[in-house]
Amino acid sequence: MVSFPSVSYAQWRAQALSVLLLRESPDGTPTERFLQTIWLHQRLRRDGLVTGDGRAIRILHPGFWNHEAGPDFRDALIQFNDDFPQTGDVEIDLHPSAWHGHGHDVNPAYRGVRLHVVWAPGSAKPASLPTLVLQGQLDSPLDELRHWLGVDTLLPDSMRGRCQPLLRDWPDASLRELLRQAAEVRLQRKGQELAARAREVGWNQALQEALFAALGYKHNVWPMRRLAELLPQLLDSSGVPDRFQLHTRLLGVGGLLPAELTRSRPTVDDYTRRAWDLWWREKETYDAIALPERIWRFHGFRPSNHPQRRLALAAQWVVAGDLPQRLESWLAAELPPAREPSKLMRVLQGQSDPFWSWHWNLHARRLARPQPLLGPQRVTDLAINVILPWLRMRAVIGANHPLQQVAEQRYFDWPAAEDNATLRLARQRLLGGPRPRFFRTAALQQGLLQIERDFCQQSNALCEHCPFPGLLDAYKDDHECGAARGSM
Ligand code: SF4
């Protein structure tokens, strides 16, 4: 029998990543693929970016990673100085000379490129194309980013992985321990990301940005994060507004106020009119920072995840102004594990709202019954991806070991999140099937996602070059030898 008492997933990960990185980057300079990962996660000092020709640049959306031929990222949304944001592709290379050297300048597929992102500056610039040098503009040292981000590539298809026959025979207790350790790595990584951002903008602003981003679900993460980044400006001009004012300001700046009335839904039209009455007076003040409506995606999510409604809740948090303190009190309170999620739900749940408790968005008809502004599944996502990593990292930095332990305990006890396509695919590849009763906690799901990220995303559908099966084999051999020696 294989047990798993002493393996360190963190060591496995470091070992595997260093092999991958060294293979691709013998002299220690970042590889293009690693730069693409940094770009994807926007691990930059986002508030002070300047192009090679001296223009301030804001990345409103990094674009969609293109794994086919052509530019590395498609449809990014970029703002230079105070100009109108423009949509365009982004090409990432190590040096500016690659633009000509790789023939991008004569390749029609690169005509839509609006920004050349490079690692280091150089004398050869692509004609009339702005260049952004990443060196010196990252939010953390390169080694730290290497450690946490690794290298990302294609998502695998639905084939069973080479590790699956090995993992299939592992007893539940051993598998649980492996996933627990992988989840711990994930918790640390998320905390490190929050800490890196907190160094730039402070802990509370870092929390707000991460919460807004999480409310964007997977489709609207970037515009939600951008609105949170703008909060200091939105709150500056006239002190803290009331929640209707702030929500309207967020909708206005976000380009989310409907241009036309429905003419068929009086309650919706009444709300839209009131919002526009307010926004007309403020619009000019915020024109320079407004986002275009096209930055949002309005399909592929449940009605409750509509950004107009998510921003209603976010505005309540900001206006109340005490969310960080309430989260800290929640962590400090002694609670039986079964009550932790419902207590957090109470902290996060906004007040019922005469309009937003009854509407999914500014087009939909009134609901038959009021709906809470936040459901239990979103609370789990926020807890696992933002709140517990944030609270734990604060405790780590403050050397508050008891509170760190509480945060970790809650993370590992938290009930499982809703299933999704990424989890299903990871279970299929690594474990060969659903194992429905096994994944009872969110941390086990997070551990699986971390392995998928650390190993599956470095390989391809054939699991080529993946070191994970070798690590499993070596561990099993070592342990069985050790067990045999012990029984002699
Ligand atoms: S890529 Fe590696 S970790 Fe992923 S399924 Fe294949 S062998 Fe397993």
Task: Please name the residue ranges forming H helices in 107-220.
Answer: 142-149, 164-168, 172-201, 203-215
**What's the rounded Cα separation, in Å, for the pair 186 and 384?**
10
pLDDT(52) > 80: yes
Domain ranges of the chain: 44-137, 202-413
User: Ligand 1: distance of its center to the CA of 384 in Å?
Assistant: 24
Please check whether residue 28 is in contact with residue 94, taking contact to mean a CB–CB distance below 8 angstroms: no
Q: How far is CA 436 from CA 32, 72, 262, in A?
A: 39, 38, 45
Residue 488 pLDDT grade (very low, low, confident, very high; cuts 50, 70, 90):
very low
pLDDT(482) > 70: no
Query: What pLDDT does residue 424 have?
Result: 83
- With 0-12 CB in 10 A as exposed, 13-18 as middle and 19+ as buried, what is 246? buried
Which atom of ligand 1 sits closest to the CA of residue 451?
3
Q: Which of 449, 413, 412, 444 is nearest to 429 (CA)?
A: 449
**What's the rounded Cα separation, in Å, for the pair 266 and 259?**
16
- With 0-12 CB in 10 A as exposed, 13-18 as middle and 19+ as buried, what is 47? exposed
- The CA-CA-CA angle for residues 339, 345, 348, to 5°, reads 145
Query: What pLDDT does residue 17 have?
Result: 67
User: Ligand 1: distance of its center to the CA of 165 in Å?
Assistant: 11
Q: How much is the average pLDDT of 443-464?
A: 87
CA 470 to chain centre: 30
**Ligand 1 in contact with 450 (CB < 6 A)?**
no
Q: What mean pLDDT value characterizes the chain?
A: 87
Q: Residues 330-358, buried b or exposed e (16+ Cβ, 10 A)?
A: bbeeebeeeebbeebbeebbbeebebbbb
Query: What pLDDT does residue 171 have?
Result: 85
Query: What pLDDT does residue 485 have?
Result: 52
Higher pLDDT, 380 or 302: 380
Which atom of ligand 1 sits closest to the CA of residue 455?
3
pLDDT(76) > 90: no
- Mutation probe of ligand 1 site: the residue of 162, 431, 454 with most atoms within 8 A of C-beta: 162
Residues 6 or more apart from 83 whose CB is under 8 A from it? none
Query: What pLDDT does residue 5 have?
Result: 47
**Ligand 1 in contact with 306 (CB < 6 A)?**
no
Q: How much is the average pLDDT of 148-177?
A: 70
pLDDT(182) > 80: yes
Q: How far is CA 268 from CA 244, 313, 353, 364, in A?
A: 15, 18, 14, 8
**Ligand 1 in contact with 231 (CB < 6 A)?**
no
Which atom of ligand 1 sits closest to the CA of residue 430?
5
Q: Which of 249, 222, 245, 210 is nearest to 233 (CA)?
A: 249
Residue 6 pLDDT grade (very low, low, confident, very high; cuts 50, 70, 90):
low
Quick: pLDDT tens for 211-239. Answer: 999 999 878 999 999 999 999 999 866 66
**Ligand 1 in contact with 466 (CB < 6 A)?**
yes
**Ligand 1 in contact with 468 (CB < 6 A)?**
yes
Query: What pLDDT does residue 156 have?
Result: 34
**Ligand 1 in contact with 456 (CB < 6 A)?**
yes
User: Ligand 1: distance of its center to the CA of 459 in Å?
Assistant: 7
Using the structure block, give the residue that is written with the tokens 């105070």: 82
- Mutation probe of ligand 1 site: the residue of 20, 167, 456, 475 with most atoms within 8 A of C-beta: 456
**Ligand 1 in contact with 356 (CB < 6 A)?**
no
